[in-house]
Structure 1
C-alpha cells in the first residue's frame, strides 16, 4: 500500500502509515513537547522494545526507563505498580509497545495521570483508532487503540469510555509486523474484525461507520489467509494493518453489543486470552443475533470470501483457513464454567439487537467452549 498521513476531522487523532515510518517517532514525541518517555512492554517483549531505545536516541530523545510487566486484561494492581515506577522515573509520557496488554496499561496510566501516551501496537487487534494521548505503531495488534479502557479487579472486567483515552498519533510501520507469528497474526486480525462486525449493527451506527467496517473487514478477511501461509508477504501485511486501523476507528465511535459482553465476561472472569477469545466467540455471537440483523448479514456476506451469501459460513470458512483453535476449553475453561459465564453475561447486558435470553445464551457459550462450528438455530 502507498504511505499516507491522516488527521482526524473530529478530533486530535493523527495517523502516519507506511514502511519505515517508525523513524518519525522521535519527531512525534517532540511535537507533543515531551522529552522523558517511559517504555512499557510485557515480559515477553522486553528485548524487542529495547530496539526503540536506538530509534529515540537517534532523534535526541532518551527513555527514562522500561516497565516490562504489562499483563493481560489490565489488572489494577499492575497499573498501580507501573504508576509508581513512572513517578519514580520522572516520566513525562509513556510509550507502550505490544498488543492489548501493553496498550491497555498505557491507557490506564494516561487516564489516571494525564501523561501523554505513545502506543506502538504489535498485533492487529490493537491497531485501533488513536486515542487522544497516544502515538501508535502497530506491528500487528489487538490492543484496543480506542477511547475505551477495559480493566480487571477482583476477577471481573469492566470497561469505560472517555475521549481523554484517545491517542494523538498512530504510526503504522509494516516492518514491525514481519515477525508476528502465524497464530497471533490470525487471532489479532479476527479480533479487529469483531469490532467492525458489531459496529455494523450498533444502535448508533451510521453510513460512514458502515463503510469503514466493511472495508476493514474485507481487507483483513482477504489478507489474513495469505499471511498465515506466507508470513513475509509485505503487501498482505500492509493490507492487514490498514484493515485493523479501520476496524479500530469504528470501535471507538459506536457502542458494542453481545460479542464484546461475552468476551469481557469470559476473559475477565476466567482469565482467557483476549484475541483468541474474540476469535472463538465472533461467529457464535453473530449467529445468535442473525435473526434480527438480516441487512447486516447480507452486507457482511458480501465482503467475506467463500461465504456463498451466508455470513456465518463465511466466518466459519475464514477461521478454518486461519487454522485457529475453536474451543475455549483449549485455553483452560471448564465445562462447569459455562453456567457461571451465562449468569454473569445476563446480569448487566449491553444493548443488543436481539433480547438476551439465558438459555439460548448459555447454549451459545457452550458451543464456544466445545469448539463447535457456529450455526443460526437458536
Structure 2
C-alpha cells in the first residue's frame, strides 16, 4: 500500500437549532469586526435570523448559479469597498461558490452556513463560468475556515431540491472512489457518506420535517465532500462541469441525472470501488443499490427535462473527452461518451 493523502484544516460546528449561537461564538472567538454576509434574496429572512446581533458591514445578494466571472468581480469590489474581514456565506453551493471567488482574489476568510447538501463548504475547490465554459481549480484560500451545520436550516428546502442536492453529495462519494487521488482513507469517508445519505434521504422524502433524516443527510454531505476534496474530480464531475458551463443547467439536478450512468459505465472496471458502494447501500451490487435509492426518491432521470438541447450531446462529449482525468477505470472514447450522454439526455436506464 502506498499513497499520499491530504487532510484539509477546518473547524465544524454541528448544532441543530443553534446556527445563530454557533456563528456568534465563532465571530467573537476570532475577533472579526466587519463581516460581509452573502445570501441570495430568497435566503435573506433566514440569514437575518442567523446573523442577529453581529456587526454586519455589508449584505450582498447577487448570487447566480455557476458563479459567472462578472458577478464574482462585482462581489470582490463590494468586499474591498467595505473592508470586509470575514465572509459569511448562508445558502447552497452557489452562495458558497461566490464566497470562494471573493476569497480567491482577496484572501478574506470564509465561514460557511449551508442550507443544502451541496458540500462545497468542505472543499478547497472553486469554480467560475465565462463564455459558456466553467473553469475549476483548488486553492487553500477558498476553503472555509469554519462550517456551521444546523439541520433546522434545511427544513424549508423543498423535497425535490433536497433529493437533487443529496444526490449531488452522493456523487462526491462515488466519484471519490476512482478519482485521480483516490486512496483508502477517501474510500472509507465516501463509503460512510454514502451510507448516511442512503439512510437520510428516504427519511426526508417520507417526512420533510424529520430533523434526524436531515441531520444524516448533512453528515453524509460533509463526509462526501471531505473525500472528494482529497480525491479530486473524477469523470462524473468533469461531465457535470462541462454540462453546467455549456448549457447553464441546474447544478444539483444535473449531478443527479448523470450519476447512475457514470456508475454503470465505470463500476465493471473498478470491482473494489463497486464492492464498497454496494456495501454502503447494503445491496447485492452498486448499480442495484443506487437504482433502489433512485426509485424511493423519485429522482430526476433526464437531462432534456432540465434544459439541455439534443444538439449539445456531441459537442459536450468532445469537451468531456478533452477534460477527463487520466486514470479513469475505463477507457474513454468519443463513441462511449456520446452513448453515455445520450442515455442521460433521454432518461434511458443506465447501461
What's the TM-score, normalizing by structure 1? 0.87
Match of 1:51 among 43, 49, 58: 49
Partners of 1:365 and 1:76 in 2: CA distance = 27
Match of 1:122 among 111, 115, 140: 115
The question of 1:253 aligning with 2:251 is answered no
Partners of 1:118 and 1:146 in 2: CA distance = 13
Q: Which residue of 2 aligns with 1:204?
A: 181
Residue deviations 1:65-93 (CA, integer Å, cap 9, x gap):
21101110011100111111222222221
Q: Name the stretch that deviates more: 10-19 or 247-256.
A: 10-19
Partners of 2:325 and 2:8 in 1: CA distance = 26
Match of 1:112 among 74, 80, 105: 105
**Is the alpha carbon distance of 1:10 and 1:218 closer, same or farther for their aligned partners in structure 2, counting shifts above 3 Å?**
closer
SS of alignment partner, residue 296 of structure 1: helix
Give the deviation of 1:349 after TM superposition.
2.0
Alignment of 1:78-157 (within 5 A): 78-126=71-119, 143-157=120-134
Partners of 2:9 and 2:309 in 1: CA distance = 44
Partners of 2:77 and 2:348 in 1: CA distance = 45
Q: Name the stretch that deviates more: 10-19 or 104-113.
A: 10-19
**Is the alpha carbon distance of 1:280 and 1:10 closer, same or farther for their aligned partners in structure 2, counting shifts above 3 Å?**
closer
Match of 2:249 among 262, 272, 292: 272
The structure, 1 or 2, with the larger RCO (C-alpha pairs under 8 Å, 6+ apart) is 2
Partners of 2:195 and 2:50 in 1: CA distance = 32
Alignment of 1:13-32 (within 5 A): 13-22=10-19, 23-32=21-30
The question of 1:374 aligning with 2:350 is answered yes
SS of alignment partner, residue 347 of structure 1: helix
Structure 1 segments unaligned to the other structure (5+ residues)? 1-8, 127-142
**Is the alpha carbon distance of 1:359 and 1:283 closer, same or farther for their aligned partners in structure 2, counting shifts above 3 Å?**
same
SS of alignment partner, residue 12 of structure 2: strand
What's the TM-score, normalizing by structure 2? 0.94
Q: Which residue of 2 aligns with 1:130?
A: none
The question of 1:73 aligning with 2:66 is answered yes
Give the deviation of 1:156 after TM superposition.
0.1
Residue deviations 1:324-361 (CA, integer Å, cap 9, x gap):
22111011111111111111111232221212111011
The question of 1:302 aligning with 2:279 is answered yes
Give the deviation of 1:174 after TM superposition.
1.6
| Contact 1:42–1:101, Cα closer than 8 Å, also in 2 | no
Q: Which residue of 2 aligns with 1:39?
A: 37
SS of alignment partner, residue 157 of structure 1: strand
Residue deviations 1:105-164 (CA, integer Å, cap 9, x gap):
0011011101111111111123xxxxxxxxxxxxxxxx4530111111111001101122
Q: How many residues align?
A: 344
The question of 1:363 aligning with 2:339 is answered yes
Give the deviation of 1:256 after TM superposition.
2.1
For the aligned residues, what is the CA RMSD?
1.5
SS of alignment partner, residue 230 of structure 2: coil
Residue deviations 1:2-44 (CA, integer Å, cap 9, x gap):
xxxxxxx955311111223311211211222211111112233
**Is the alpha carbon distance of 1:209 and 1:121 closer, same or farther for their aligned partners in structure 2, counting shifts above 3 Å?**
same
Query: Which structure has more helix as a fraction of its residues?
Result: 2
